[in-house]
Amino acid sequence: MPGSVNLRECKVLERMVKMHAEKGGLYGAICAAPAVTLAHWGMLKGLKATCYPSFMEKFTAEVIPVNSRVVVDRNVVTSQGPGTAIEFALALVEQLYDKEKMEEVAGPLYVHPQHGADYTIEELNSVEWKCSGTPQVLVPVANGSEEIEALNLIDVLRRAGANVTVASVEDTLQIVTRRHKFNLIADMMLDEAAKMEFDLIVMPGGLSGAQKFASTDKLVDLLKKQAGSGKAYGAICASPAHVLEPHGLLREEGDGVSTHGALAY
């Protein structure tokens, strides 16, 4: 919300977006911004749009509100919030390129198959995980970690109230992510985190990042200690195949596991 208000009050941005729209350019907004920013600027008049559900009432009378995850009307794309951000971005890709390009980008992301479809979460060998008080979570990161996976893990777990510690397995706190070479600053080095106790250790993917995890003895020792204590641990993308399996952390009889499709065999 504060960000949308700050965008709304930026006169330079308002002029830029209005000039862009007058030339028929594509524009969009997500979460509170469709109602708080675009509608306030008068840029959704007569158009269908969506936004974060609790902000629907802030749409001006000229806007036609639609309760949908993503709405495309003419040259405007709007979306509901953090959980729809990837769908929103893919809708922009489709408008800028075409459906074929959108599907090309969406495929490797393993995006939710369609609006309203059930998530395919399969739980095997159910165990009741318990922790006292605020969950303490370790998210290791390395050069080459997949940025979407790392940031989503950190963000969603912190939104849930967990105390998430981001620890670098490299020689510095700053790591460079896999695809777009973002700089991510960890909270601490793994050596410091290794002195702490965690209810959950969970690793993002990214092939080179996963390979670094697998060769980091201190992290492997932490994972084995976590497993031996009956505490939760997990991984996504390349990390189940490159970290957990080689170190015997998936070998209990009847264990089921998911990994990136290209690494499943």
Residue ranges and CATH numbers for the domains of the chain are 2-109 (3.40.50.880), 136-263 (3.40.50.880)
| Range of lowest pLDDT (95-99, 103-107, 135-139) | 103-107
pLDDT exceeds 80 at position 84 = yes
Q: Which residues of 60-77 are buried (b: 16+ CB within 10 A; e: fewer)?
A: eeebebbeebbbbeeebb
As a whole number of angstroms, the distance between CA 95 and CA 45 comes to 20
pLDDT at site 119: 63
Which residues touch 226 (CB under 8 Å, ≥6 apart)? 198, 201, 232, 233
pLDDT in tens, 134-191: 999 999 999 999 999 999 999 999 999 999 999 999 999 999 997 888 899 999 999 9
C-alpha separations of 64 from 20, 59, 92, 244 in Å: 22, 8, 20, 50
As a whole number of angstroms, the distance between CA 224 and CA 214 comes to 12
Q: How confident is the model at residue 23 (pLDDT cuts 50, 70, 90)?
A: very high
If one compares 125 and 34, the residue with the highest pLDDT of the two is: 34
Cβ-contact 84, 92 below 8 angstroms: no
Catalytic positions, written as ranges: 237
- Give the chain's radius of gyration (CA, Å): 22
Q: Kindly list the strands in the beta sheet with 70-73, ordered across the sheet, starting from the edge strand earlier in the chain.
A: 27-30, 76-79, 70-73
pLDDT in tens, 202-238: 999 999 999 999 999 999 999 999 999 999 999 999 9
For residue 232 the two structure tokens come to 């939760």
pLDDT exceeds 80 at position 6 = yes
pLDDT in tens, 237-260: 999 999 999 999 986 644 555 444
For residue 67 the two structure tokens come to 């309760």
pLDDT in tens, 109-121: 888 655 556 666 7
Q: Taking the model in full, what pTM does it have?
A: 0.86
Q: Considering the chain, what is the average pLDDT of its residues? A: 91
